[in-house]
Chain A
Amino acid sequence: MSIQLSVEGLSKIYQTGEGVRDISIEVAKGELVTLLGPSGCGKTTVLRSVGGFVDPSEGIIRIGDRDVTNVVPEKRPSAMVFQSYNLWPHMTVYDNLAFSLKLKKKKKSFITERVDWALNLVHLTGSEKKYPSELSGGQQQRIALARALLLEPEVLLLDEPFSALDAKLRHELREELREIQAEQNLTMLFVTHDQEEALSISDRIVVMNRGKIEQVAQPYEIYHKPASLFVAQFIGRMNFIKGYAQPDGIRIDQLIFPNERGLIGEVAVGIRPEDVKLSEGKPSIEAKVAKIMMLGHYVEVTLHTIFGQLKMFIDKNEINTVELGRIVHVTLTRIQSFQDSNENYLERNEAYATI
Chain B
Amino acid sequence: MWFIKLIGKLKFTGFVCFFIFVIFFFGPLLNLLLLAFSGEWQYPDRLPSEWSLTWWTFVLQNDAIISSIWLSFLIATIVTLISLLICIPAAYAFARIQFPLRRFFLFSFLLTNAFPKMGLYVSIAVLFYQLNLMNTFVGIVLIHLINTLMYMTWIPSAAFENVHRSQEESARDVGASPLKVFWHITLPMAKPGIIVASVFTFLSSLNEAEGTFLVGIPDYRTMPVIMYSIIADYPSTAGSVFSVILTLPTILLLVAARKFVGAESFANGFKLK
Contact = CB atoms under 8 A, between A and B. Distances in A.
Interface in A163-187: none
A52 B177 CA distance: 13
A334 to B, nearest CB: 44
A86 B170 CA distance: 6
B169 A82 contact: yes
A78 B189 CA distance: 25
Interface string B166-180: 110111111111001
A51 B175 CA distance: 12
B164 A85 contact: yes
B166 A84 contact: yes
Interface size class of A (residues with CB under 8 A): 20 to 34
Contact of A74 (B167, B177, B188): B177
Contacts of A80: 169-170, 173
Contacts of B185: 88
Contacts of B180: 103
A100 B175 CA distance: 6
A81 to B, nearest CB: 9
A144 B189 CA distance: 18
Given A100-B175, A147-B174, A73 B169 contact: yes
A73 B191 CA distance: 26
Interface in B114-160: none
Interface residues of B, number: 18
B196 to A, nearest CB: 16
A85 B166 CA distance: 6
A103 B170 contact: no
A241 interface: no
Interface in A74-100: 74-75, 78-80, 82-90, 99-100
A244 B99 CA distance: 55
B184 interface: yes
B184 A99 contact: yes
Contacts of A52: 172
Given A85-B164, A89-B189, A103 B169 contact: no
A151 interface: yes
A117 B177 CA distance: 26
Contacts of A82: 166, 169-170
A99 B173 contact: no
Q: Which of A72, A83, A100 has the most CB of B within 10 A?
A: A100
Contact of B167 (A72, A86, A147): A86
A53 interface: yes
Interface of A: 51-53, 72-75, 78-80, 82-90, 99-100, 103-104, 144, 147-148, 151
18 contacts: A52-B172, A72-B172, A74-B172, A74-B177, A75-B175, A78-B173, A79-B173, A79-B174, A80-B173, A84-B166, A85-B166, A89-B189, A90-B189, A90-B191, A103-B174, A103-B176, A103-B180, A147-B170
Given A103-B176, A103-B180, A147-B174, 13 more contacts: A73-B169, A74-B173, A74-B174, A84-B166, A85-B164, A86-B170, A87-B167, A90-B189, A99-B171, A100-B174, A100-B175, A103-B174, A151-B174
Interface of B: 164, 166-167, 169-177, 180, 184-185, 188-189, 191
